[in-house]
Amino acid sequence: MCTMRTWPHLESSAISLPPLISFPNLSNLYGTNKEIQRRRTTPYGSFSVTLQPLPPPPPPLTFTATFSSMADTHSRFPFDFIFFGRSADAERDCLDRSFTEIVIVRHGETEWNAEKRIQGHLDIDLNDVGRQQAVAVAERLSGESKISAIYSSDLKRALETAETIASRCGGLQVIQDPNLRERHLGDLQGIVYGAAPTVKTKAYEALQSRGRDVEIPGGGESLNQLYKRCTDSLQTIGSKHRGERVVVVTHGGVIRALHQRASSGKGHRAGRILNVSVNVLHLSDPDKWVIKSWGDVSHLDGAAYLDSGFGGDRTSG
């Protein structure tokens, strides 16, 4: 129902009008090319409103209202009308339904990040700095366009970051997806990166290999295996949430693989993936990925973070 309200101050105080004048049956203004007219008559005058359909997605509705006075001694005074329609926030939250906006966030810092210790699938908590970073990115996202869903790796460092975001963005339930986990790094997991060449030589050589089908000894994944599972997961999320804005919290190695998919053939480099950096992709049919922004950590101006971005470079972790 569309509702119109008279301006609170009239030049004449000799009469008063009902504060609300309602025009029923105007809720379906789209999908028709018919012009809709409504006229309302009161003891003080007649009001007519003409509405013309707007193509989707709907911007704020625009109405033109006119007042035709009746012949009486108190009929000459101006009227202004205010239409209470779509708010600025609603307009901000309206995305093009041809794509899904996916905000990809790396988890906050852990003690193993700070020690440059390789994590992989090992389940390490955020440290105090990481929790501070999670709050900072959550505050940022809560002030931006509406988030429809939040997905996360099921590893604690990502999940806690995602839950912090969810608590400040409408209390959404975090959807856990194991396919968003970091790359499994086999025998390297738990090793300080600097010691890996001598402690786990074969695993380290596999990690450094340019071959995309090289698996890391000890049950580790190849780059192709990582790429397949995480890009398939993101494509599924994108297809499910057309026209919506979604947050995905994951890991450095995964984010690099997603960047590779989005920039395929363009020669762009992902660079270092810092903790709680924000990276925005638009996914549309048929399987088109577009990078809208990358590596934004402006929300960390007041928070400590690792400049090295360990775990977010080619070595993963």
Is 112 annotated to bind ligand?
A: yes
Q: What contacts 147, CB < 8 A, 6 or more positions away? A: 103, 141, 165, 169, 170, 172, 245, 246, 247
The per-residue pLDDT for 266 is 74
Is 91 annotated to bind ligand?
A: no
Rounded (10°) CA dihedral 304, 307, 312, 314: -170
List active site positions: 107, 182
CA distance 228 to 240: 18
The per-residue pLDDT for 29 is 45
**For residues 239 and 300, is the Cβ–Cβ distance under 8 A?**
no
Rounded to a whole number of angstroms, the distance between the first and last alpha carbons of the chain is: 55
CA distances from 214 to 193, 232, 257, 264, 303 (A): 19, 20, 15, 20, 38
Comparing C-alpha atoms, which of 81, 74, 5, 20 is closest to residue 45? 74
**For residues 7 and 80, is the Cβ–Cβ distance under 8 A?**
yes
Is 5 annotated to bind ligand?
A: no
The per-residue pLDDT for 241 is 97
The per-residue pLDDT for 151 is 98
Is 113 annotated to bind ligand?
A: yes
The per-residue pLDDT for 18 is 46
The per-residue pLDDT for 285 is 84
Chunked in runs of 10, what are the mean pLDDT values of the chain (317 residues)? 40 42 45 49 52 55 43 41 44 70 97 96 97 97 96 98 97 97 98 96 96 97 97 97 97 96 83 95 93 95 71 61
Is 111 annotated to bind ligand?
A: yes
The per-residue pLDDT for 212 is 95
CA distances from 294 to 57, 152, 223, 311 (A): 27, 19, 21, 17
Structure tokens at 9: 């101050």
